[in-house]
Structure 1
Amino acid sequence: MNIISLEGKEDTPKVILDKDNGVFEISGRSLPEDAREFYRPIIEWLQQYASNPNPETVFNFKLEYFNTASSKLLLDVLQTLENIPNAKVVWYHLEEDEDMEEAGKEFEDMVNVEFEFRVLAD
């Protein structure tokens, strides 16, 4: 599978989807002008990956901030992970960022994927 590797910008997160090295991560800030268009190739990649996944998939979310439009698309990403056997989400948040921790817990309640919460070092 092709690797998706997008450098983070001021309004878009860094994204790495690399099946061969087992790296699945979205990090930074997510407030793209067109969230649906930004996340479409990510969701399509995951749908393709779901047909032949690694034995274990650990997807890291290291988001500092996301807007409402991104929230819906992040939920779509998480729902796609429901179709991947042995998928797990590691949701990182800054220790003092209770809002981001709570957002992860709300996502956890909405999908059937194992979540682990970790504090992100400053």
Structure 2
Amino acid sequence: MEDFIIAGSRDIYFSPSVNLNAATGKCSISGESYLEEPYEFYKKISVWFWEYVKAGGKNIVLDLKFNYFNTSSSRALLEMLRVLRDLHHSGTEVTVNWYYPNPDDDEILMEGEDFRDECGLEINMIEYELEESGEK
């Protein structure tokens, strides 16, 4: 089982950074998600989660830290979270952390709460301070 890494890009479409660690189950997706084919993008991540568990992985910790995602990415993210919910129900320990910026972006927080309600998976809401450089 290999790590799954995608460097984020900001070309015509924006893709988030992805780092899925096969040795530890520690995973992160961050940045902006404005993709031409969001279902294909997030399906690859979902397949990796299934393969990780089939290879003996017992726990997944996923940190999600978006500063923007469009509607089609939102739907694809929800499908990915449902995969994690299914893995959790089949015995895998799954922790999802949703990071949202303080103080000025309630929208990201509300999106995370909506995902939690819609997918049926517990998602930890974690506030973080924006850095002076404007990082989100």
TM over 0.5: yes
CA distance in 2, matches of 1:107, 1:52: 28
3-state DSSP of counterpart to 2:24: coil
Q: Structure 1 residues 53 and 94 mapped into 2: Cα distance closer, same or farther (>3 Å)?
A: farther
Match of 1:78 in 2: 81
Larger radius of gyration: 2
Q: Tell me, which stretches of 5 or more residues in structure 2 are unaligned?
A: 131-136
Equivalent in 106, 126, 130 of residue 118 of structure 1: 126
Structure 1 residue 43, shift from structure 2 partner = 1.5
TM-score when scaled to structure 1? 0.91
Structure 1 residue 121, shift from structure 2 partner = 2.9
Q: Tell me, which stretches of 5 or more residues in structure 1 are unaligned?
A: none
- 1:87 maps to a residue whose letter is V
Q: Structure 1 residues 114 and 52 mapped into 2: Cα distance closer, same or farther (>3 Å)?
A: farther
Match of 1:2 in 2: 2
Q: How does 1:103-114 map to 2 (within 5 A)?
A: 103-114=111-122
3-state DSSP of counterpart to 2:86: coil
Identical positions, percent? 30
TM-score when scaled to structure 2? 0.82
Match of 2:29 in 1: 26
Q: RMSD across aligned C-alpha pairs, in angstroms?
A: 1.5
- 1:8 maps to a residue whose letter is G
Aligned residues: 122
CA distance in 2, matches of 1:55, 1:121: 32
CA distance in 1, matches of 2:71, 2:119: 18
CA distance in 2, matches of 1:34, 1:69: 9
Match of 2:134 in 1: none
Structure 1 residue 29, shift from structure 2 partner = 0.1
